[in-house]
Structures are given as structure tokens and as C-alpha cells.
């Protein structure tokens, strides 16, 4: 649960690239003035052009945005399987257990330090809806120690082609 905000809250954003184009994704990050995109996928791979780790980092660099992959904050394989099956509450249970591991705790401490420094950070994963994504649980964990103002960015092309 997030703390009550008093105006001194630290801004953090989240974004999912589901349904996004690289251009709409970068536009959303630029509009939010993101300076660092933190990839919280366990596997920074994607079948969507422009969203696999190397290409994503290059696209971000071209937009003046830094990239950091914190693999330890990604969902384990069984959690990803639960999410694909639409079992979001099960995925949340699995991820909460994963967050107790040393690797997850180390990456959470790294992220907490970066966010506390005041950098304009955005967390990345696939799902467009943050309620169905573990990035909301990463925010929940950060909110235990930091007063956050969270913006869930949308990168879905508006009025695009329908297939």
C-alpha cells in the first residue's frame, strides 16, 4: 500500500509496451521526462521489434534516455506462465515470494537508491495494464520505504490500425 503523499513525494513512472510502437513508447517516455528506463523483465527479450534488450537500449540512447536491466526484479518462469494463463493473482503470489530472495532484494536496493536520488525513473515490463503486471508489486515494495507519486504511462497507439 502506498504512503499518503505530502507534496515531497518522489516521481516514478511505469510503462508496458504491449500494443505500443517504438515511436509511441518513446513519445510517452519523453512526455514524462524520463531520464532512466529500468527494465524489470527477467528476460529482456521480445518478439516485438525494438523491445529486445540491445535494440531497446539503442532506441532509448537515441532519445537521450539511459537503460538499466534489473533482472532480479523480473517475474520467475512459473509466474510468467501464470500471467499468460490469466491467473494474475497467482502470478502476484509467486512474485511476492520471489521478492524475498537475495537477488531480488539486492536489485530492489539498487532501484531504491536510484529512485531516492531524484532521477526521473520509469519501470518497464510488457503488460499495458499495470494491475496485471508485477511492476505494480515492485512499486508496492518501493513504497514501503519511499514516498512515491506513481504515473502509469500509456504507450498504446491511439487510432491505429485494427487487426
Q: State the Cα–Cα distance between residues 110 and 128, nearest whole angstrom.
A: 25
The SS3 call for residue 15 is strand
Q: Is the pLDDT of residue 6 over 60?
A: no
For the chain, counts of helices (H) and of strands (E): 6, 5
Per-residue pLDDT tens digits for 54-81: 999 999 999 999 999 999 999 999 999 9
**Nearest-CA neighbor of 128 among 153, 149, 151?**
153
**DSSP category for residue 156:** B
In the chain, where the domains are located? 10-153
User: Does 10-153 carry CATH code 3.40.1010?
Assistant: yes
- pTM for the whole structure: 0.90
Q: Is the pLDDT of residue 121 over 70?
A: yes
Amino acid at each position: 500500500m502506498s504512503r499518503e503523499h505530502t507534496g515531497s513525494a518522489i516521481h516514478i513512472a511505469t510503462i508496458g509496451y504491449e500494443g505500443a510502437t517504438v515511436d509511441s513508447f518513446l513519445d510517452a517516455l519523453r512526455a514524462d521526462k524520463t531520464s532512466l528506463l529500468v527494465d524489470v523483465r527477467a528476460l529482456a527479450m521480445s518478439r516485438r521489434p525494438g523491445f529486445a534488450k540491445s535494440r531497446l537500449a539503442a532506441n532509448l540512447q537515441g532519445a537521450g534516455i539511459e537503460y538499466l536491466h534489473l533482472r532480479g526484479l523480473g517475474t520467475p518462469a512459473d509466474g510468467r506462465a501464470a500471467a499468460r494463463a490469466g491467473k494474475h493473482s497467482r502470478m502476484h503470489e509467486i512474485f511476492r515470494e520471489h521478492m524475498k530472495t537475495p537477488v531480488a532484494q539486492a536489485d530492489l536496493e539498487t532501484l531504491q537508491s536510484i529512485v531516492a536520488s531524484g532521477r526521473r525513473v520509469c519501470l518497464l515490463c510488457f503488460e499495458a495494464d499495470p494491475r496485471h503486471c508485477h511492476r505494480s508489486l515492485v512499486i508496492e515494495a518501493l513504497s514501503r520505504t519511499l514516498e512515491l507519486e506513481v504515473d502509469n504511462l500509456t504507450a498504446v497507439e491511439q487510432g491505429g490500425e485494427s487487426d
